[in-house]
């Protein structure tokens, strides 16, 4: 049975028609304005390009009924307003060079697209000109009229998608759309610490409520950025973030990346910017994962806010209408810079673990009051006479009155006396001032698994097995880096049939794979021959490994599969070769473990990203006992 082609008419030949401007703008709006958050992004970026220092955003019903953007930028003259609503009219570029772009916007599509699908009012005033207003609804532009405005621009978009009601059916709930708008504003706020942002929800009328606020910050770049990240991502991220500042071949990387022990269950705290433009790029996200993959388990994700600055001609931002994707001229440089800079920063952090670990420990120790009034644990300090009378009343009956509490230490106190060679003797033999070292001096062992150490201002609890496992793992990795990965030559090379594209993609990374003992070479057509495999892996299904590597290359732009498999073996070796739980340790052994942790990078977390120790400050401990 022949099925008629729906694209071909039986009655007449298809006719080529020129679409009118209204239809063209509605089609363009489908690409540029996907949802209310897309409209907010375009309008706020215009305000930033206009040199605004304060930007106010007001929304109602998740942006579906109202979006109002107010800025103090340079504004527009009455003659500029009609031109701003024309397609491909922009003040950002002159059209002669599409690579040398220094602004957020440059396509000239946002305003006419918004005017085609909603009711758009623009009121603006440029220096030396009178304020003016222009309206457009469903693509129909009204004449410019005088208006009242001190400076800057106010853009009001109401009834979004009223001209394309089918699009409204694809909108999510007001709450979800408001959250998407908030996420857009937070990303732009991170990119511009010197600009103040205020997001207000005015649903239901009135002044509404402020849902996000970030005041403008001044001073050093990193100080301003650190302050802005603290207000956007939270104080915990700022406390546990490492400063990143590196450059290579004309590309600079800066920002903050969190410690491995401050990880997330999903990739929701990864923010990447190229020339201050928020982007979602698989290659950059893959590089971020690659930098952390040796420190986090597969179900944990790093947190970071990273900025790449480079010559605009080194990156193409004209890839997608929403300008959320970029393409580097040499992506390998950017990826290598991210991986090396983050790994260097993590190594410099040494044994440091996140502060949230100690906070979580204190939280688990704090008893719940369940509505009971707070107890008073400590009275005012008594006078010397009152203390003397109290001591006398508490003196055992068989002791003479002259014997005070100082003389009771040997007979009646809780002092521990251990045999020679015990942990106490080892502790006494420890070098003086060892408590002032980061992990302090060992004072005991609990349940034959946890080391208790005293520091200058608190205490440290160390998981002896996890800590030693990390130390052994780092030693094995260093030995592998020095000696290389031993390769096992296959008696009969395994031939893997691939498409021409997959074969070319795989051979591009052949040198990198060879470093980890996987030797491949072309075998004619799309086939590749696997001649060597890493000896440490034993018997390997070469075809399955090759296909897994290709999947990773497609998804992330790079592959750490072979390296991950090799280091997984090293991790298991380290686990079996480390101090086991349940083993009693002497004092000098515990102190030696603490000193080695202080000298070994990444010793603050185990091979799976979990903390190897918990630090509690003395003030926090006293607060637990009501002594603060």
Q: What is the pLDDT of residue 521?
A: 87
Query: For 3-32, what is each residue's pLDDT tens digit?
Result: 555 555 555 677 777 777 666 666 666 666
| Angle in degrees, CA 275, 281, 284, rounded to 5 | 80
Crossing angle of helices 21-32/110-117, nearest 10°?
110
Q: What is the pLDDT of residue 52?
A: 92
Evaluate whether 312 touches 274 at the Cβ level (below 8 Å): no
Evaluate whether 377 touches 627 at the Cβ level (below 8 Å): yes
| CATH top class, domain 21-209 | alpha beta
Q: How far apart are CA 76 and CA 81, in angstroms?
A: 7
Domain ranges in the chain with CATH number 3.30.565.10: 21-209
Please say if the pLDDT value at position 196 is more than 90: yes
Evaluate whether 25 touches 115 at the Cβ level (below 8 Å): yes
Mapping DSSP to helix (H, G, I), strand (E, B) and coil, where does residue 384 land? helix
Query: For 410-427, what is each residue's pLDDT tens digit?
Result: 443 333 444 444 444 444
Q: How far apart are CA 114 and CA 158, in angstroms?
A: 10
Q: What is the pLDDT of residue 409?
A: 42
CB atoms within 10 A of CB 395: 16
Evaluate whether 47 touches 74 at the Cβ level (below 8 Å): no
241 strand-pairing partners: 258
Q: Who wins on pLDDT, 584 or 552?
A: 584
Q: How far apart are CA 449 and CA 466, in angstroms?
A: 10
Q: Who wins on pLDDT, 63 or 515?
A: 63
Please say if the pLDDT value at position 370 is more than 60: no
Q: How far apart are CA 52 and CA 43, in angstroms?
A: 12
Least confident residue range of 28-37, 76-85, 91-100: 91-100
CB atoms within 10 A of CB 213: 12
Domain ranges in the chain with CATH number 3.30.230.10: 221-349
Q: Which CATH architecture has domain 221-349?
A: 2-Layer Sandwich (3.30)
Q: How far apart are CA 30 and CA 49, in angstroms?
A: 23
CB atoms within 10 A of CB 222: 15
Sequence-ordered strand ranges (E) for 435-582 = 441-446, 450-455, 458-463, 487-496, 519-522, 528-534
Query: For 460-512, what is each residue's pLDDT tens digit?
Result: 888 888 888 888 877 777 777 777 777 788 888 888 888 888 888 888 888 87
CB burial of 542-553 (b: ≥16 within 10 Å; e: otherwise) equals: beebbeebbebb
Strands 270-274 and 196-201: unpaired
pLDDT bracket for residue 115 (50, 70, 90): confident
Q: How far apart are CA 103 and CA 213, in angstroms?
A: 24
- Joined together, the tokens standing for residue 164 give 């394309």
pLDDT bracket for residue 102 (50, 70, 90): low
CB atoms within 10 A of CB 53: 15
Crossing angle of helices 464-483/587-599, nearest 10°?
50
Q: What is the pLDDT of residue 410?
A: 44
Closest CA relative to residue 510, chosen from 486, 529, 482? 529
- CATH no., domain 420-628: 3.30.1540.20
Please say if the pLDDT value at position 39 is more than 60: yes
Q: What is the pLDDT of residue 501?
A: 84
Q: Who wins on pLDDT, 580 or 286?
A: 286
CB atoms within 10 A of CB 271: 22
Q: Is the dihedral of CA 585, 588, 589, 590 positive or negative?
A: positive
**Cα separations (Å) of 99 from 46, 95, 426?**
19, 10, 68
Q: Who wins on pLDDT, 55 or 465?
A: 55
Cβ neighbours for 272, distance < 8 A, ≥ 6 positions apart: 278, 279, 280, 281, 284, 285, 288, 306, 308
Please say if the pLDDT value at position 371 is more than 60: no
Domain ranges in the chain with CATH number 3.30.1540.20: 420-628
pLDDT bracket for residue 386 (50, 70, 90): low
Evaluate whether 257 touches 347 at the Cβ level (below 8 Å): no
Q: What is the pLDDT of residue 135?
A: 92
pLDDT, mean of residues 285-301: 80
């Amino acid at each position: 049975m022949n099925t008629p082609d729906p694209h071909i008419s039986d009655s007449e030949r298809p006719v080529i028609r020129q679409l009118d401007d209204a239809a063209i703008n509605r089609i363009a709006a489908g690409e540029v304005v996907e949802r209310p958050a897309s409209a907010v992004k375009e309008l706020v970026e215009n305000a930033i390009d206009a040199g605004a220092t304060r930007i106010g955003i007001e929304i109602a019903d998740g942006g579906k009924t109202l979006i109002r953007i107010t800025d103090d930028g340079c504004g527009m003259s009455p003659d500029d307003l009609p031109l701003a609503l024309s397609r491909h009219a922009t003040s950002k570029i002159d059209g002669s060079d599409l690579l040398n772009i220094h602004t957020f916007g440059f396509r000239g599509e946002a305003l006419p697209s918004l005017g085609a699908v909603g009711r758009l009012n623009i009121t603006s005033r440029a220096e030396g000109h009178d304020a003016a207003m222009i309206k457009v609804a469903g693509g129909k532009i009204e004449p410019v009229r005088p208006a009242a405005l001190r400076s800057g621009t106010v853009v009001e978009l109401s009834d979004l998608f009223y001209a394309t009601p089918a699009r409204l059916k694809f909108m999510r709930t007001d709450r979800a759309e408001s959250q998407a708008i908030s996420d857009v504003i937070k990303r732009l706020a991170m990119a511009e610490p010197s600009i103040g942002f205020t997001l207000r929800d005015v649903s239901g009328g009135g002044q509404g409520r402020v849902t996000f606020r970030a005041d403008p910050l001044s001073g050093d770049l990193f100080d301003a950025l650190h302050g802005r990240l603290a207000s956007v991502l939270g104080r915990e991220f700022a406390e546990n973030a490492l400063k990143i500042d590196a450059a290579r071949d004309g590309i600079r990387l800066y920002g903050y990346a969190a410690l491995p022990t401050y990880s997330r269950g999903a990739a929701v705290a990864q923010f990447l910017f190229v020339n201050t433009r928020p982007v979602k790029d698989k290659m950059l996200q893959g590089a971020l994962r690659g930098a952390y993959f040796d420190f986090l388990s597969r179900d944990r994700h790093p947190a970071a806010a990273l900025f790449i600055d480079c010559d605009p001609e080194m990156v193409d931002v004209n890839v997608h209408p929403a300008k959320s994707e970029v393409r580097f001229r040499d992506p390998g440089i950017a990826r290598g810079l991210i991986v090396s800079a983050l790994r260097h920063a993590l190594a410099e952090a040494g044994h440091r673990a996140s502060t949230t670990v100690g906070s979580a420990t204190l939280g688990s120790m704090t008893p719940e009051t369940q509505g009971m009034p707070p107890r008073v644990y400590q009275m005012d300090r008594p006078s010397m006479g009152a203390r003397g009378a109290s001591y006398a009343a508490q003196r055992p009956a068989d002791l003479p009155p002259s014997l005070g509490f100082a003389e009771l230490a040997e007979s009646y106190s809780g002092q521990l006396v251990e045999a020679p060679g015990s942990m106490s003797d080892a502790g006494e033999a420890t070098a003086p001032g060892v408590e002032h070292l980061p992990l302090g001096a060992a004072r005991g062992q609990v349940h034959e698994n946890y080391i208790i150490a005293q520091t200058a201002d608190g205490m440290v609890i160390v998981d002896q097995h996890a800590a030693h496992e990390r130390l052994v793992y780092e030693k094995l990795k260093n030995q592998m880096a020095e000696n290389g990965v031993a390769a096992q030559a296959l008696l009969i090379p395994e031939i893997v049939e691939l498409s021409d594209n997959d074969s070319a993609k795989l051979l591009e990374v052949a040198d990198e794979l060879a470093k980890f003992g996987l030797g491949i070479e072309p075998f004619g057509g799309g086939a590749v021959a696997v001649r060597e495999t890493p000896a440490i892996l034993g018997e390997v299904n070469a075809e399955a490994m090759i296909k897994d590597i290709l999947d990773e290359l497609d998804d992330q732009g790079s592959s750490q599969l072979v390296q991950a498999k090799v280091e997984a073996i090293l991790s298991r070796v380290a686990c079996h070769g480390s101090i086991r739980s349940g083993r009693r340790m002497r004092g000098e052994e515990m102190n030696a473990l603490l000193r080695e942790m202080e000298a070994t990078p990444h010793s603050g977390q185990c091979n799976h990203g979990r903390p190897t120790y918990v630090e509690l400050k003395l003030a926090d401990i006293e607060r637990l006992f009501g002594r603060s």
